[in-house]
Amino acid sequence: MTQPPSKSHGRLSIRASLQPRDLMAEPQVRDAWTAQILTLFPEAFPGILGLSLTGRALAEGLWNLRTTDLRPFGIGKHRNVDDTPAGGGAGMVIRPDVMSAALHEAGAALPVIYLSPRGKPFTQARARALAEGPGMTLICGRFEGVDQRVLDAHGVEEISIGDYVLTGGELAAQVLIDATVRLIPRVLGNQESLAEESFSDGLLEHPQYTKPAHWEGREIPEVLLSGNHAAIASWRRDMAERLTKERRPDLWRAYEDRPKG
C-alpha cells in the first residue's frame, strides 16, 4: 500500500499502515518526555512549539513530539471521520470507531487527555504533574466534539484551558504542551524563574520593569533600584499578594486557606 507523503517538522508523523509499528518509527530520544497528538491537522504541529525555548529543547531531544493523523482511520471510500449527532442538532461528531483505532495505533503508554471546554480547568499544578510523568496523548476535537463512548472506553481525562470555545483542539493542545514542557529540567535556561512566576506559589506574579528607568513620565519603583535584596523581595511579595487579591479572589482564598508552616 502506498502511503501519502508527510511533512517532517522535527516530529514523528503516524499514519494508518499494515507495516509493523517498529518499522514505521523515526528515531526518537529514548525516555524523553513525549507529547503525542491525535488530530485532523498534523501540519499544525509543531507550530509555535518549534520556536524559542520549546523548539530548541525539541531539537536537543529534551522532549519528543509525535502526531497521529485521524483521516487515514476514516470510514469508507471518502475516509469519513464524523457523523451527525444522535438525537439531532447542528454540527458533526467524530466517530468512536475512528478515534478508537487512532488511539490503539498511538499506543497506551501515555495518559490520554481530551481538550474540551467541559473538562477540568488546566492549572499550573496539573502542568507540573504532567511534566513529572512520561508525557501525554492529546485528542484534538473538531466540529461538535468526540463520541462520548470512546472517551469512556479509554478512560480519557477531559481538560479545559478556559470558559470559551475554539474551532478545534489544536491550539489548546499547544497551550498544554508549552505550559508542561517548560517545566522539564534543562528546558529553561534559568530554572530560578520558575519559582518567581505566576502560580508557582499560588499567587500572581509581581509587576516587572526594565530599562530605561524613566519613560514618558513614569518611573521604575525606587525600591527595585536600591540594591537592597531583602526590600526588593518584600516589595515583590506585597505586590503579588495585592494583585492576586484584587484580580483573582479565587486564588487569594486558596492561598489564604493553604496549610501554614
- pLDDT value, residue 29: 77
Q: Assign residue 4 a region (left: φ > 0; alpha: ψ between -120 and 50; beta: otherwise).
A: beta
What pLDDT is attached to residue 9? Answer: 47
Q: How do residues 41-79 score in pLDDT, each as one tens digit? A: 999 999 999 999 999 999 999 999 999 999 999 999 999
Is 166 annotated to bind a ligand? Reply is yes
Read off the pLDDT band of 172 (50, 70, 90). Answer: very high
Q: Is 110 marked within a binding site?
A: no
Categorize the per-residue pLDDT at 10 as very low, low, confident or very high, splitting at 50, 70 and 90: low
Average pLDDT over residues 130-143: 97
141 is in an annotated binding site: yes
What band does 103 get if pLDDT is binned at 50, 70 and 90? very high
Ligand-binding annotation for 164, yes or no, is: yes
The CA-based diameter of the chain, rounded to the nearest angstrom, is 71
Per-residue buried b or exposed e for 176-203, using 16+ beta carbons within 10 Å of the residue's own CB = bbbbbbbbbeebbeeeeeeeeebbeebb
- Report helix, strand or coil for 79: coil
Say if 12-181 and 197-256 have the same CATH topology: no
Task: Look up the pTM and report it.
Answer: 0.82
- Domain extent listing, the chain: 12-181, 197-256
Contacts of 72 (CB under 8 A, 6+ apart): 15, 16, 79
**193 vs 161, residue with greater confidence:** 161
Which of 20-34, 102-116, 184-198 has the highest average model confidence (pLDDT)?
Answer: 102-116
Residue 244: Cβ within 10 Å count: 23
Residue 133: is its pLDDT beyond 90? Answer: yes
188 is in an annotated binding site: no
Q: Give the C-alpha separation, 154 to 150, whole Å.
A: 6
CB–CB of 200/194 below 8 Å?
yes
* Architecture of the domain defined by 12-181: 3-Layer(aba) Sandwich (3.40)
Mean pLDDT over 14-32 rounds to 52
Q: Give the up-direction half-sphere exposure of residue 65: CA atoms within 13 A in the CB hemisphere.
A: 28
Q: Does 137 or 107 have the greater pLDDT score?
A: 137
CATH 3.40.50.300 is held by the domain 197-256: no
